[in-house]
Structure 1
Amino acid sequence: MENLTYRSLIYLVLLTFGLFLTGCGGASESEEEDNPYLTADEDQGGLSLAPGMKAYVIAEDIGRGRHLAVNEQGDIYVKLRERHAEGGIVALRDTDGDGRADEKTYFGDYGGTGMAFYKGYLYASNDSVVFRYSFSNGNLLPDNSASPDTIVSGLPKQTSHAAKSFTFDDKGYLYVNVGAPSNGCQEQDRTRGSPAMDPCPLLERHGGIWRFDAEKTGQTQMNDGHRFSTGIRNAVALEFNPIDGHVYAVQHGRDMLNALFPDLYDEEANAELPAEEMFRLTDGADFGWPYCYYDLEEDKRILTPEYGGDRETVGRCENTQAPVMTFPAHIAPNDLLFYTGNHFPEKYKGGAFVAFHGSWNRAPLEQKGYFVSFVPFENGNPKGSHEIFAEGFAGVSTIEAPDDAEHRPTGLAQAPDGTLIVSDSKTGKLWRIFYQEEKETVALK
């Protein structure tokens, strides 16, 4: 109880200095000077940001971060892609109120991607299991850190598109991404001349979003899972939108058009045509993979070359569910967050942030991505085009391969005060992005 009382006192002090901002006015000048929580790094953590946004580094070198979650006290939990020497999840706490992590501890003996809080429990996934951790007395480490509850097991392991990202709705359901271990459902994956399998047998257990009971332990995909939406190649970015009550996904588009079908596609067409798509999921919806892809030049979903496509034919794709928005090819959406806070200006309320991790498949052309975008929403639908919210993660202006990037944005989380936290999958760096109203300058006469 002493620890909980101390932390409560810290947050009361921070509240006095304007940490939990409301509205869009930002902090006053005196608050900016006195409150270390709202003090940006001189270089904004190496980032270029939207107007009025500031940033600082919360932690560095914690391990290759994937998704992350924040509890009501502001403690940050990051899932690591590979198990760190001390564990596969890192827990971070700020004890002095400056927003930076000064307490760090690890637990969990597995790597993975998924991470989220639900009803006070922390859920985390490896590539085949979704676990649940419980907490008490304001502790940073969960009570069952060595033996978490198993919510879902038996999800298919695979060498590609293995991440089991997940989200929760407001009706008690858990939704899990099961990516397809394939580019186009060929008999020999990514092999020129190998025939496609029709119908694609992978869709029985892969290439879609499965729904489970959010709280029941001991579930398996085959016995308890419901294939909610199908035809989704891989949706690492998966999130419930509380505004309209739907789960959304942003899919990684297909690869290797020119390598597999050089008579139809050149290097530029491969790099520019296959969209990354945002889906509003509904029960039974089919988004077309592997038979279709969304072609940005044609501005529609068309038949893939594996299934007889010629860059124009729509065919069986006509009856698939359309995306609500498309993004440029091969920028790799890895997380999605609907903003519900009051800290950022009103334009951000109800809109979506998307972390674009960057992809190898634009090669040999220059890589793109490595930024966080904002998508405005109005009446439950994206409004206009996406806009760059934060960039500069890569640290270099020209990227020929993902290894050239110093950092790659991967996970997004909204802190209790409405600030945004971003994780990095290269070295394990975390940023906090916050808003401060620009000061007016008065010219002296």
Structure 2
Amino acid sequence: MNETTSHTRLLRLATAGSVDDGKSTLVGRLLYDSKSVLADQLEAIEFASRARGSQNADLALLTDGLRAEREQGITIDVAYRYFATPRRRFILADTPGHVQYTRNMVTGASTAQLAIVLVDARKGIVEQTRRHIAVAALLRVPHVVLAVNKMDLVEFSLQRFHEIVEEFTVVADSLGVTSHTAIPLSALNGDNVVTASENMPWYHGPTLLSHLEEVEVGDDLSTQPGRFPVQSSFSPSARPDWAASRCFGFGLPGTYVAGQVAAGTFSVGQTVTVMPHGTRTVIEAIDQLGGDATDAVAGQSVTIHLFDTAAAERGDLIAAVNDTPHVGEEIVATVCHLSERPLRPGQAVLMKYASKTLEARVEQLIDQLDLATTHREGQPQQLVVNDIATVRLRTAQPVAVDSYRKNRITGSFILIDPGDGQTLTAGMVESVSTVQKEPS
């Protein structure tokens, strides 16, 4: 069998589900049936299962790795698992199910290309399911899988499966989830996880694993408009030892900038724009892993030699000249509040996005998402942990950012407490505008 690029590419996925929906068991079954569990791991799980009074291996323990989780029987942190099949490589983020740990799902799903939302076939769509769908929608996760688990406990009912799918579709459509697939399964017994179930002959779709292997990963970041957040900047005179050992040569004018390409492709000889001030310069050379390179693509960490002296500094964003990010001091964003400390209008914060940190202020809490109805309610007085809302921020100086819909890296940020550096809120940019100055 010839492997295509889509088969061999990495897929980042996150799992989410309410407490007792069987999420950890599903992940354990996926790892076990795909032969991704080492012998010593299985032996340890069997020993832990016997210690808890179970005669069979509790596959949930493959992911519930923290001692507190094993003792309480719940997942309280994001557990990352790496596995592969002949068709694809995977990084799986198993996120907590309890409502108080919704913020951990934001962490796990922030880079995911696919989210598995687990539902107990007996309970159907509950409020925490709506919360998980909302987070997946807000984070623009390209694909969502509705995994209807514990079908064995509803006698593998086609009618019950259709009822849940119909309710899920209404919620997903209202929140803007455009691509979703529903799969009925039993994680405990392995039905439709890796192997097709004989108990549900009415289902003709893919198993969970085959869907994960076949799903299109989405847009290639290298084809998007060029974005290069500058992590560090220095002149050749400041690093003569470094410059002399590189092809650039000692004494060359210009600026060296280092960082990771967030999107697009940059090439030697290309004219670029340095944001937010908008000056243009030319890429003279690119250094990758100590050697020459003609191009730098999304995901690569490189050093770029710019023609002009002092062309860019840490926190600047180098962009393609034909498609630059928006610049302004007023940002409207969707946020998920992560801290036990509330967020209020008028509050001073630090805004960190890409490689830049600057002072900002919360101008307004515009609305808040009611997960029971999926409607937005107007102007809350404050945000508490796990609240999802729309806010307006004012930054102390102009910023260059994309909308999150366009670029998940350069369109995201966190808000930090300037007093002690605690992370308060994760945000996704919706729009940027320039504040109109009053005439003097």
TM-score of the aligned structures, taking structure 2 as reference length:
0.27
Write 1 or 2 for the structure with the bigger share of helix: 2
Larger radius of gyration: 2
Q: Which has the higher contact order (CA 8 A, sep 6+)?
A: 1
TM-score of the aligned structures, taking structure 1 as reference length:
0.26
